[in-house]
Chain A
Amino acid sequence: MQLGAARVFERWAAGWARRRQGADTHAVELKRRRIYVLPTRFGLVFAAMVLAMLLGSLNYGASLGFMLTFLLASLGFVAVHHCHNNLLGAEIKFLGAAPVFAGERAEFRIAVSNSSAIPRLEIELKRGDHTAGPTDVGPGATETLRLGLPTERRGSAILERFRVETRYPARVFRAWTWVHMDARCLVYPRPAAPGRPLPLAAADGATGFHHAGDEDFAGLRPASSGDPPQRIAWKAYARNDVLLLKEFSGGTQEPCMLDWDMLPDLDAEERLSQLTRWCIDADAGGRSLGLKLPGNVIPLGAGPKHLAACLEALALFGLPR
C-alpha cells in the first residue's frame, strides 16, 4: 500500500528519470548514472536508532557506546554501496509476453542477467503494486521473471515503465532504477459467454450438411501450445516421445467463415467478443476458420498460428497501429 502522495511523487520522479535517461531498448545494462538509492522505512528507523545511540554515547561519554554506534553507522554506509553494487551492471532484457485475453494477467517475461563474478541477490521487478521476484542471479547466470499486469481492454498492454529494485543486503536501503522499454503484450478481446451457436454457413457452395463429429480421423500433426489436450495422441507420445495432435478431416466438418456483419444486434466491442468466442470454439472443434472484418479479411485456415492471426486481427481491430 503506497500513499497517494508517494505515488504521485514516484510518477513525477520516474518522469524526470525518463527525460534524463531516455527510453530504453529491449536490453539495457544498468549503469551507475541511473541507479538511485534511498533508505527504506526500516532504514529510517535504523538511522533514528543510530542517532539515539550517538546522543546516548555523547551523554554518557561511553567509548564503547561510540564504538557500537559507529560500527552500526558504518554498516549502514557500507550497505548503500553493496545495495547499489547489487544492481550495477546487471542486464535487463525484455523477452516477450504471451498474448492474453482481456481480463487476464499479462505476463511480461523479463530476464535479469549477471555477467559479473559475484552473485546478485534479491532482485525484484516492480510495476505499481505488482511485483516479480525477488530472485537471486548467480555469477554468469540469467533469471527470467514474469511481471504480471492486469488487462482490461483488448489491444496492446504496454508495460510503459517498471522498476528494477533490490533491498539486499541490509534492507536499510533500496536501490532501484526505472526502465522504460517498449514492452507490449497483445490482449485479445474478452471472449463472450458461450451461448450463440457457431454460424456454420458454407463458405462457397454448400457441400451439404455433415454430421458434426470428431470420428473421421485424418492424420497427425505436431502439437503446439493451445491445442486441446483431449486431442493429443497419447499413444503416439508413448511410442516416440513426440507430442502429436490428432487431426480430423476438415472435409467432414463445415468450415466456419465468421463475418463482422453476422451480429447486427451487438455494438462493436460486443461483436469482437462474440467473434473471439466463435474463433475459439471453431478452433477447438477442429474446423477451419476464416474471418471477415471491415477492411480486413482472413481466409479460411486452421491451426494455432491461424487462430492467433485471427485473434490478433480482432484484438487490434480499429485501433491505431
Chain B
Amino acid sequence: MTSAVAQRGLELPLEVRRLLWTAAIVVGASLPHWATLAAWMPVLLVAAVAYRLTTAVRHWPLPPRALRIAVALAAFFAVLFEYRTLNGAQAGSALLVVMVALKFVEARGQRDELVLVMLCYFLIFASALTERGPLWAAYVVVLIWLTTVAMLNIGRRGEFLPHRTAALTSGRLLLHALPLAVALFVLFPRLPGPLWAMPGSTSSGATGLSETMSPGDITNLGLSDEIAFRVEFDGRPPRADALYWRGPSLTNFNGRTWSMLQGTRRGGRVADSTEYRGEPTTYRVMLDPNGRNWAFALDMAARWSDDNTLRMGSDYQLGTFFGAPRSRRIEYTVTSYVDYSAREPLTPNEIEMFRRLPGDSNPRARALAQSWLVDDPSGAAIIARAMDYLRSQPFFYTLTPPALGAQPVDEFLFETREGFCEHYASAMTVLLRAAGLPARVVMGYQGGELNGFGGYYIVRQSDAHAWTEVWLEDEGWVRVDAVAAVAPERVALGSTRYRSDRGFIASTMLSNTWLRQAMLAWDTINTRWQAWVIGYGPELQRALLDRLGFGGLRRAQRSAVLLGLAAAATVFFLAGLSGYLAWRKRRHTDIDRAAACFAKFTRRLARLRVRQRAAGEGPGAYAEHAATALPHVAAEIRAVVDLYLRARYEPDADGAALAALETQVAAFRPAQA
C-alpha cells in the first residue's frame, strides 16, 4: 500500500518528465565544455534548467516575452564581451551553451524539446572539434544513447515507453548504426587541408621550450611531466646517450640571455653538406601541439616525410615553417643518422657572428678561455680543456640553483658552481667563443622514457635539455654537452631515471612504480587513440588503399575510390540490417513453438519405424496409430498428443501446456520395440 502511494508520488506529469529528460541531455551535452567556458555560463545553464523545472512543477507562467528578449540580448552581448568575437570554436560553443540555456527557459511542448535535443547534438559536435581522448568518446557514446532514449520518449504522444524497452531499443539502434558509422569513418575521403580559412587558432599559451634562455634568472626549474612528443622507432632505437632531439638554436648573447637569430640565415639546404655514416634510424614522431611550429628530430635528420610541410631550417632544425603556429598534433616520419658530420661551410661573417660576445660581459670566463689558447689553440684541445675544467672543479647538477647577478657566467663558473643544463650550455658556449671558436646553444630534449606496453618512447617536458654546438674548420658542427662532464648519468639514463635516483622528484606518483606502470598503460591507449582515431586522415587512407590494391592513384582518384567504397559499405550494411530485422521479426508465437515441438516428436517416432503422418490426418488419429505400433509407450504418446492439442488449440495463457509439452517431448526417448 505504502509503496503504491510512494510510486504515485513519484509519478510526475508527462510534461515534467519530458523536461527532465531534456534537462539531462542539455546538461550532459554541455559538460565537456564547462572547463573552457566562462564560469557564469554553466551557472546560467543550471539556473535556467532549475527555473524551468520549477515552473513546470508549480505551474508558473512563462516570463513575459519582452523580458525573455531582453535577457537573450544581454546574454548575447555578454558572450561577445567575454570572447571579443563570436568566431571560432570556443566562442561558438559558448554562444551555443547560452542559447540552449535560454531556449530551455521557454521550452514548451515536444517540438521545443526536440529542437533542444538537436542543439545538443551540435554542442557535442563542438566539443569534438578539439582533440579529445578515448574517455570523451565513451562519454559521447553513452550520451548519444541517452539522447536517443530521450528522442524516443519526448516525441511520443502519450505515455513514455517502459524504461527497459526504451533503453534496449535505443541501444539496439545505436548498435545497428555502429558498424556503418565505423565503415564511413574509415572510408569517407578526408581532405589534406581545410576547405576555407579557419578562424584564428584558439590555442593560447605556448608550452615547452622557450625562444630565449637566461639561466641566471631561474632558481627553481619546475619540471612538468607533460608530454612533448612520442617516438616509435622502426627497429632498434639508438643508444640512450645518442638521443638528442634537436630543437631551436640560440646564437645571440647579450651577456645574460641567449636568443634566436631573427630571420633565415641562408637559403638552400644545409643538409646537403652533411655526411651521414653508420646505420640509419627511422622513427615516427607524434608531436603534441606546442603553440609553435617547431618539430623535433634526432641529430642528424637526413630524410623526413614531406606531408605536414616539414622543412629543415638553416640551423638544422625541423619545423613546419609555413602557416600559423600549430594547435594540433602532427605526426611525421624521420630518418636520422646519429653518426654524422655537419660540414656547413660558414662565411667569415658567419664565423664572426658565432664568436661574438658582448665586450664587457663575463671577463673572468673570457680570461680563462684565452689562457687555454697558449698551450694548444686547436679546437679539439680547447673543448677538452673546457670539459676538463668542469669535471675537475666541484660543479653540481641541480634544479634549484642560486640566482646569478650581473655577470652570470662568471658567477656560475667561479662561485656558485651549481646549475642545470642551461647553465652548463651557456657557460660552455661562452668559454668556446672566448677561445675564438664559433659556437651556439642548441635547445631540445635528451633521452626519453620507453613505454614497455606500447613499445614507444615518451619524451616529456622534463626531458628538455640544452647543449653546445661548436663549429670546427674540418669537422663542421660538433656537439659538446657540458652536462655530460658534470652529471654523465643525466645523459646516460635520461632525466626521469636520473631525477628519481637523485631524489629530485618529491612526487610519490612518479616514483611509485605500480602507478607509473598504470600511467604508461593508459598512455599507450591514448597514443593508439591519437594515432589511429584522431590522427586518421589522408595519409592513413592512402596506406589503406595501398593495402587494398589501389596503390599509385592520384588524389582525386583516391577520393573517388573511397567514396565508392563508402557507398558500397552503406548499401552492404543497410541490406544486412534489413535482412536481420526481417529475421528477428519472424513469427515466433507459442503456437508455432508447439507445432515445432510436435514435428520433432513425429520425427522421433519415424525413427522408430512409425509411418509418417499422412496429409490431412489429425494428430489424434496419428497418435492412435503410433500407440498401436508402439504399445510399450502408448501412454506417453497419448500424453504428448494431449498436451499438444491443449497447447495448440486451447487458451494457454501462462504457457503451462507448452512447457509441459516441451518437457515431455524432450524426455520421450523410447527404445525400439
B273 beta carbon closer than 8 Å to chain A: no
CA of A140 to CA of B191, assembled, Å: 51
Contact for A70 among B148, B188, B196, B537, CB less than 8 A: B188
A234 beta carbon closer than 8 Å to chain B: no
Residue of A nearest to B574 (CB): A77
Minimum Cβ distance to chain B for residue A165 (Å): 13
Which range contains the number of B residues in contact with the other chain?
35 or more
B173 beta carbon closer than 8 Å to chain A: yes
- Give A140-168 interface residues, CB cut-off 8 Å to B: 140, 167-168
Stretch from A55-63, A212-220, A262-270 contacting the other chain: A55-63
B549 beta carbon closer than 8 Å to chain A: no
CA of A168 to CA of B122, assembled, Å: 23
Q: With A58-B195, A115-B589, A117-B588 known to touch, is A77 a contact of B125 (CB < 8 Å)? A: no
A118 near B137 (CB under 8 angstroms)? no
A69 beta carbon closer than 8 Å to chain B: yes
A81 near B581 (CB under 8 angstroms)? yes
- Give B72-119 interface residues, CB cut-off 8 Å to A: 89, 114, 118
Q: With A63-B535, A82-B581 known to touch, is A75 a contact of B177 (CB < 8 Å)? A: yes
Q: With A59-B194, A59-B198, A74-B178 known to touch, is A116 a contact of B129 (CB < 8 Å)? A: no
CA of A140 to CA of B152, assembled, Å: 22
Minimum Cβ distance to chain A for residue B535 (Å): 7
A117 near B129 (CB under 8 angstroms)? no
A71 near B585 (CB under 8 angstroms)? no
B206 beta carbon closer than 8 Å to chain A: no
Minimum Cβ distance to chain B for residue A113 (Å): 12
B263 beta carbon closer than 8 Å to chain A: no
B156 near A63 (CB under 8 angstroms)? no
Cβ of A167: which chain B residues have Cβ within 8 Å of it?
155
A70 near B125 (CB under 8 angstroms)? no
B534 beta carbon closer than 8 Å to chain A: yes
A45 beta carbon closer than 8 Å to chain B: yes
B587 beta carbon closer than 8 Å to chain A: yes
Stretch from B55-63, B179-187, B264-272, B601-609 contacting the other chain: B179-187
B155 near A66 (CB under 8 angstroms)? no
Contact for A170 among B173, B537, B584, CB less than 8 A: B173
A67 near B185 (CB under 8 angstroms)? yes
A121 near B155 (CB under 8 angstroms)? no
Minimum Cβ distance to chain B for residue A58 (Å): 6
Which range contains the number of A residues in contact with the other chain?
35 or more
CA of A171 to CA of B132, assembled, Å: 30
Cβ of B193: which chain A residues have Cβ within 8 Å of it?
61
CA of A47 to CA of B513, assembled, Å: 51
B125 near A53 (CB under 8 angstroms)? yes
Give 1 or 0 for each of B189-210: 1 = CB within 8 Å of chain A CB. 0110111101000000000000
Cβ of A170: which chain B residues have Cβ within 8 Å of it?
148, 151-152, 173
Minimum Cβ distance to chain B for residue A95 (Å): 22
- Give A65-121 interface residues, CB cut-off 8 Å to B: 65-75, 77-82, 85, 88-89, 115-119, 121
B158 beta carbon closer than 8 Å to chain A: yes
Minimum Cβ distance to chain A for residue B614 (Å): 28
B118 near A49 (CB under 8 angstroms)? yes
Q: With A70-B181, A78-B577, A117-B587 known to touch, is A60 a contact of B198 (CB < 8 Å)? A: yes
CA of A68 to CA of B127, assembled, Å: 10
B586 beta carbon closer than 8 Å to chain A: yes
CA of A53 to CA of B161, assembled, Å: 30
B570 near A68 (CB under 8 angstroms)? no
Contact for A118 among B129, B152, B173, B585, CB less than 8 A: B585
B128 beta carbon closer than 8 Å to chain A: yes
- Give B395-416 interface residues, CB cut-off 8 Å to A: none
Minimum Cβ distance to chain B for residue A161 (Å): 23
A171 near B185 (CB under 8 angstroms)? no
Residue of A nearest to B122 (CB): A49
- Residue of A61, A64, A85 with most partner-chain B CB within 10 A: A64
CA of A171 to CA of B535, assembled, Å: 34
A140 near B125 (CB under 8 angstroms)? no
Cβ of B522: which chain A residues have Cβ within 8 Å of it?
none
B124 beta carbon closer than 8 Å to chain A: yes
CA of A195 to CA of B237, assembled, Å: 110
- Give A14-66 interface residues, CB cut-off 8 Å to B: 42, 45-46, 49, 53, 55-66
B181 near A74 (CB under 8 angstroms)? yes
A169 near B122 (CB under 8 angstroms)? no
A134 beta carbon closer than 8 Å to chain B: yes
A122 beta carbon closer than 8 Å to chain B: yes
A81 near B577 (CB under 8 angstroms)? yes
Cβ of B486: which chain A residues have Cβ within 8 Å of it?
none
A62 near B191 (CB under 8 angstroms)? no
- Residue of A63, A66, A88, A116 with most partner-chain B CB within 10 A: A63
- Give B142-187 interface residues, CB cut-off 8 Å to A: 144, 148, 151-152, 155-158, 161, 165, 169-170, 173-174, 176-178, 180-182, 184-185
B157 near A134 (CB under 8 angstroms)? yes
Cβ of A139: which chain B residues have Cβ within 8 Å of it?
589
CA of A303 to CA of B400, assembled, Å: 111
B533 near A71 (CB under 8 angstroms)? no
CA of A140 to CA of B582, assembled, Å: 16
CA of A49 to CA of B537, assembled, Å: 23
B612 beta carbon closer than 8 Å to chain A: no
Minimum Cβ distance to chain B for residue A280 (Å): 37
Cβ of A77: which chain B residues have Cβ within 8 Å of it?
177, 180, 570, 574
Minimum Cβ distance to chain A for residue B168 (Å): 11
B181 near A67 (CB under 8 angstroms)? yes
CA of A64 to CA of B137, assembled, Å: 8
B536 beta carbon closer than 8 Å to chain A: yes
Cβ of B89: which chain A residues have Cβ within 8 Å of it?
60
Q: With A55-B195, A118-B584 known to touch, is A68 a contact of B173 (CB < 8 Å)? A: no
A56 near B173 (CB under 8 angstroms)? no
B226 beta carbon closer than 8 Å to chain A: no
B668 beta carbon closer than 8 Å to chain A: no
Cβ of A134: which chain B residues have Cβ within 8 Å of it?
156-158
A59 near B173 (CB under 8 angstroms)? no
CA of A67 to CA of B188, assembled, Å: 11
Minimum Cβ distance to chain A for residue B530 (Å): 10
Minimum Cβ distance to chain A for residue B569 (Å): 10
Minimum Cβ distance to chain A for residue B648 (Å): 15
Contact for B118 among A45, A62, A82, A121, CB less than 8 A: A45
Can you report 28 A-B residue pairs in the complex whose CB atoms are below 8 A from each other? A46-B118, A49-B122, A53-B121, A53-B122, A60-B194, A61-B191, A64-B129, A64-B132, A64-B136, A64-B533, A65-B129, A67-B181, A68-B124, A70-B181, A74-B180, A75-B144, A75-B148, A75-B177, A78-B574, A80-B574, A82-B176, A85-B578, A116-B585, A116-B586, A118-B584, A139-B589, A169-B173, A170-B148
Given contacts A78-B173, A82-B581, A85-B578, 14 further A-B contacts (CB under 8 A): A45-B118, A53-B121, A53-B125, A66-B185, A75-B148, A77-B570, A80-B574, A82-B173, A85-B585, A88-B582, A89-B585, A115-B587, A116-B585, A116-B588
Q: Give chain A's interface residues, CB within 8 Å of chain B.
A: 42, 45-46, 49, 53, 55-75, 77-82, 85, 88-89, 115-119, 121-122, 134, 139-140, 167-171
